[in-house]
Amino acid sequence: MTQKKTADKPVVAKSGADVPAYLPLELIPVYLWWRANGNQVLMNAALVLVVGGLAFGALEWRKGRAARANREFMQAGSLAELQVVVEQYGSTKVGNAARLRLAKAYFDAEDYEAAFQTYEACLKRGEPSGFAGFAQLGMAHSLEAMGRLDEAFAAYSRFVEAHPEHFLAVQAQMGLARVLTLQGRKDEAKRLLELLKAERTGDLMVEMAVAQLTGVVDRWEPRATRSFFERVEEAARGLSVPVVVPSVETEAEALD
C-alpha cells in the first residue's frame, strides 16, 4: 500500500508565530525577529531617507542662497541696492560685509543716525570678528558727525585703548584730535598730534595726514554766536538796494 505524502505544514514556534516548514532552522530566529520588528524597521528606514533627503535639499538650498547673496553683494552699488541685500541676505556669510557697506553709504548720504545703527548691528551679529574694528570706528565717526562729541571722544578712546596695534588706531587718534578741537581744546589736540607724529616717524602716509590735520587745527576757530541783526546786515551786503536794519528803539516804537 502506497503511503500518501502529506503536505508540509508550518512549524509553530514557541512564541506562537507560524514558521514556514521550508525555512532552515538557523534562519528561524531571524524570521521571528522580522515578524516582530519588521514594520518598525521599515518605518525607521523611511524616516531616515526622508530626513536625509530634507537635509540634502536644505544644504543645496543654502548653497544656492549663498551664491545668490555673493552675486547680489558684489553687484550692489547704490544705497537702495545695499538695503535690499541686507534685508534679504543679512543672515548669510556676506551679511556683515553688506552691513558695513550700507553703513558707509548712509554716512556718505549724511544719514549719520542710520549709519550708527547699522554699524551697531554689525557688532551685535558678532561675526566675522574681523569686522569689529571697522564697525567700532564707524560708530565713533557717526557720533562725531552727529555732534555727540563726548560720546565720540569716549568711543575713540576705547578703540585706542583696546586696539593700540590695530592699523585703524591712527584713525582713532586723529579722531580724538578732531573732537578735542571741536570742544575748544586745541592745545590738547596739537599735543596729541605731535605724539602721534613722533610715534610714526618714517611712515610717510601718517606724517602727511598728521601734518594736514595739524594745519586744520591751527586754523580752526569756533563759530561766534551772531545776533539776528548781524545776520541781516551780512545778507544785505550782497544786495544792490540798501536795506534798513531796524534798531531796538525803532522796534519798540513800532510795538507801541
Residue 253 CA to residue 256 CA, distance in Å, equals 5
Domains and CATH numbers, the chain: 45-135 (no CATH), 147-220 (1.25.40.10)
Task: Give the pLDDT of residue 59.
Answer: 47
Kindly report the CA angle at 110 between 106 and 85, in degrees rounded to 5?
10
For all residues of the chain together, what is the average pLDDT? 75
Task: Give the pLDDT of residue 159.
Answer: 95
Nearest-Å Rg of the Cα atoms of the chain is: 39
Count of residues making up the chain: 256
Contact between 210 and 218 (Cβ < 8 Å): no
**Does 253 or 155 have the greater pLDDT score?**
155
Contact between 186 and 205 (Cβ < 8 Å): no
Task: Give the pLDDT of residue 238.
Answer: 54
DSSP 8-state secondary structure symbol assigned to residue 242: -
Helix or strand or coil: residue 241? coil
Q: What is the pTM of this model?
A: 0.62
Q: Give DSSP secondary structure letters for 165-226.
A: TSTTHHHHHHHHHHHHHHTT-HHHHHHHHHHHHHHTTT-HHHHHHHHHHHHHHHH--PPPP-
118 contacts: CB under 8 Å, gap ≥ 6: 99, 102, 103, 106
Residue 79 CA to residue 111 CA, distance in Å, equals 11
**Could you tell me the three cell numbers for 172?**
582713532
Residue 19 CA to residue 23 CA, distance in Å, equals 7
b or e along 143-161 (b: 16 or more beta carbons within 10 Å of the residue's beta carbon)? bbbeebeebbbebbbebbe
Give 82's pLDDT tier (boundaries 50, 70, 90).
Answer: confident
Kindly report the CA angle at 215 between 211 and 218, in degrees rounded to 5?
135
Tell me which residue of 205, 201, 176 sits closest to 189, measured CA to CA: 176
Give 214's pLDDT tier (boundaries 50, 70, 90).
Answer: very high
Residue 187 pLDDT greater than 90, yes or no: yes
Residue 235 pLDDT greater than 70, yes or no: no
Task: Give the pLDDT of residue 60.
Answer: 44
For range 183-209, the mean pLDDT: 93
Convert the pLDDT of each residue in 18-72 to its tens digit. Answer: 655 655 666 556 555 555 665 555 555 545 544 444 444 444 445 565 677 678 7
**Does 235 or 78 have the greater pLDDT score?**
78
Rounded alpha-carbon distances, angstroms, from residue 152 to 110, 188, 220: 17, 16, 19
Convert the pLDDT of each residue in 215-231 to its tens digit. Answer: 999 998 877 555 555 55
Convert the pLDDT of each residue in 121-171 to its tens digit. Answer: 989 887 666 788 999 999 999 999 999 999 999 999 999 999 998 889 999
Residue 173 pLDDT greater than 60, yes or no: yes
Give 15's pLDDT tier (boundaries 50, 70, 90).
Answer: very low
For range 225-241, the mean pLDDT: 53
